[in-house]
Amino acid sequence: MHSTTESFQKNFALFEHSLNGESELPLHQLRRRSLERFSTLGFPTTRDEDWRFTNIAPLAATQFRPILVSEPHSITPAQVAAAGYAGQSGQRLVFVNGHFAPGLSQLGEVGNGATVSNLAAAIKADAAAVEQFIESLPATKPDTFAALNTAFIRDGVFISVPSGIIIEQPIHLLFIGVATSEATVAHLRNLISVGENAQATIIEEYVSIGGGGNHATFTNPVTQIAAAPNATVNHYRIQHEQELGFHIGTFHATLDRASTVNSITFTLGSAIVRNNTSAVLAGPGAHCTMDGVYLANETQLVDNHTTLDHAAPNCTSHELYKGVLNDRGRGVFSGRIIVRQDAQKTDSKQSNRNLLLSDTAIIDSKPQLEIFADDVKCTHGATIGQLSDESLFYLRARGIGLAEARAILTYAFAEEVVEHIAIPELRDYLETLLNTRLEH
């Protein structure tokens, strides 16, 4: 495995070179420390408990070319509109191969002192603030990929909403990976801070556009959200990249007193996807919803690892993950709920439901509760099953073909999560995406 961590080290030297004066900043020391950390940790193998079911050997064996500076591309606004969600008129930040593409983005006036910019610009403006934010990502578990991301921090999104400001329109972040004649990698970092009593909605979408090649793209994003007291953040993550892609995404939210973070993750694409989703409920009375839908067809592997860490009293959390596994698809779910000793009156509910549609699909589900407080209500449930024969019969008796009946029922299964989407246009968009995926 070491050969590949070495290839990333070589990449780092090139990367360092491309930074020019920026490598003098203290932020760069953080990058270097993270690279060291990454090299010490190495790529995980299936012998690591957290990666028991997810073999990333194909990823570790690939040499990726770093895209150090924004390269010219031929992507047109029409292609962008066709590739991703286009249902609304607010802010849209488009990134191509890990670099901000201002020409394709829509940057309107957000006003009221809110900042919505790309991270590279934010580093130029105030590197110290960016560094401080990055460091707030808790390193409780050694995570190779988060360390790798930090080592290559360059671009991404920086959003800061001041106290009391409500941003009505969702902010759409579109990350495009262009499959070329080489395997490429993008390390994106998204920092989102929402102030006291403020509200924001973020749509984070990952797509691929063919660029005259069919090589693997590796997307390794890290998104951090800090919700101040009483803030509300709605976060949607939609991943439908090309079938040769690797996607290892980290999402971490810190919730202060009485804040709310709702996170919904849709995983539809790539060969291997791993979502590390975690939230710390650090202030009393916070609420976190963590929902997800994952589909795995052909030989796809989708792995969702979630952690809900209740560190303060009177917090609630609600988690619902639904998986549809078809063909030789493989699903992995690991949901951890930790209730710390001080987190009395916690109310936490987790459920993971899986639908196996073929003989060769596999699911490994691992819900976990770790509870250190006594006055809590915690439940988790996991089910694995297939479409009910009665329901199929009911539909077929009404003249609906078998394939269509299965698609309807599968769609209805996933719909439970889609329903939770508050934006009608986005809900329609996802319904269409799901339907297209389920129909074949």
Partner 1 sequence: MSTDLETIQHVTESEYKYGFATDIDTEAVPPGLNEDVVRLISAKKGEPEWLLQWRLKAFRHWQKMEEPTWHNVHYPPIDYQSIIYFAAPKKKAKSLDEVDPELLEMYEKLGIPLNEREALAGVAVDAVLDSMSVATTYKDKLAEKGIIFCSFSEAVREHPELVRQYLGSVVPHTDNYFAALNSAVFSDGSFVFIPKGVRCPMELSTYFRINAQNTGQFERTLIVAEDGAYVSYLEGCTAPMRDENQLHAAVVELVAMERATIKYSTVQNWYPGDKEGRGGIYNFVTKRGICAGRASKISWTQVETGSAITWKYPSCILKGDDSIGEFYSVAVTKNYQQADTGTKMIHIGKNTRSTIVSKGISAGFGQNTYRGQVKVAKGADNARNYSQCDSMLIGDRCGAHTFPYLEVSNPTAQLEHEASTSKIGEDQIFYCNQRGISTEDAVSMIVNGFCKEVFRELPMEFAVEAQKLLAVSLEGSVG
Which residues here bind partner 1, judged by CB under 8 A?
49, 53, 341, 344, 354, 356-359, 361-386
Closest-CA residue to 338 (of 286, 381, 376, 303) = 376
Nearer Cβ to partner 1, position 92 or 340?
340
* Of 194, 228, 250, the residue nearest 34 (C-alpha): 250
Count CB neighbours of 343 within 10 A. 23
- CB of residue 379 to partner 1, shortest distance in Å: 5
User: Is 46 or 383 the residue whose CB approaches partner 1 more closely?
Assistant: 383
- Please give the Cα distance from 379 to 289 (Å, whole number): 15
CB nearer partner 1, residue 387 or residue 395 = 387
Cβ distance to partner 1 smaller for residue 19 or 378: 378
Nearest-angstrom CA–CA distance, 41 and 157: 27
Pick between residue 84 and residue 313 the one whose CB is nearest to partner 1.
313
Q: 79-117 b/e with 16+ CB inside 10 Å = b?
A: bbeebbbeebebbbbbbbbbbbbeebbeeeebeeebebb
Spatial distance between the Cα atoms of 195 and 185, rounded to a whole number of angstroms: 33
Distance, C-alpha 348 to centroid of its chain? 22
Q: Which CB atom, from 235 or from 274, has the smaller least distance to partner 1?
A: 274
Of 211 and 367, which CB lies nearer to partner 1 in the complex structure?
367
* Closer CB to partner 1, 22 or 364, in the complex: 364
| CB of 108 vs partner 1, minimal distance in Å | 47
d(CA 191, CA 179): 26
Q: How far is the CB of 373 from partner 1 (least distance, A)?
A: 6
Nearer residue to partner 1 within complex by CB, 122 or 356: 356
Could you list the beta-strand ranges (E) of 269-329. 272-281, 287-296, 301-310, 316-325
Residue 201: partners with Cβ closer than 8 Å, 6 or more residues away:
167, 169, 170, 171, 233, 234, 235, 236, 422, 423
In this structure, what is the dihedral angle of CA atoms 116, 119, 125, 128, given to the nearest 10 degrees? 120
Return d(Cα 36, Cα 45) in angstroms, integer: 19
Neighbours of 196 (CB within 10 A): 18
CB of 385 to partner 1, least distance (A): 5
CB 243 to partner 1: min, Å? 22
Beta-carbon contacts of residue 250 (< 8 Å; ≥ 6 apart): 143, 145, 146, 149, 221, 222, 223, 276, 277
Cβ atoms within 10 Å of 336's Cβ, excluding its own: 18
**CB neighbour list of residue 28: distance below 8 Å, 6 or more residues apart:** 16, 19, 22
Answer whether 387's CB lies under 8 Å from 410's CB.
yes
Q: Work out how close the CB of 21 gets to partner 1 at its nearest, in angstroms, rounded to a whole number.
A: 47
Task: Report the alpha-carbon distance of residue 58 to residue 146 in Å, rounded.
Answer: 19
- Judge contact between 105 and 92, C-beta under 8 A: yes
Minimum distance, C-beta of residue 252 to partner 1, in the bound complex (Å): 22
Q: Give the 3-state secondary structure of residue 12.
A: helix
State in angstroms the smallest separation of the CB of 410 from partner 1.
13
Shortest Å, Cβ 400 to partner 1: 21
Minimum distance of partner 1 from residue 406's CB (angstroms): 12
Closer CB to partner 1, 71 or 342, in the complex: 342
Write down the least CB distance from residue 366 to partner 1, Å: 5
Query: Which residues of 108-183 form beta strands (DSSP E)?
Result: 115-118, 155-161, 171-179
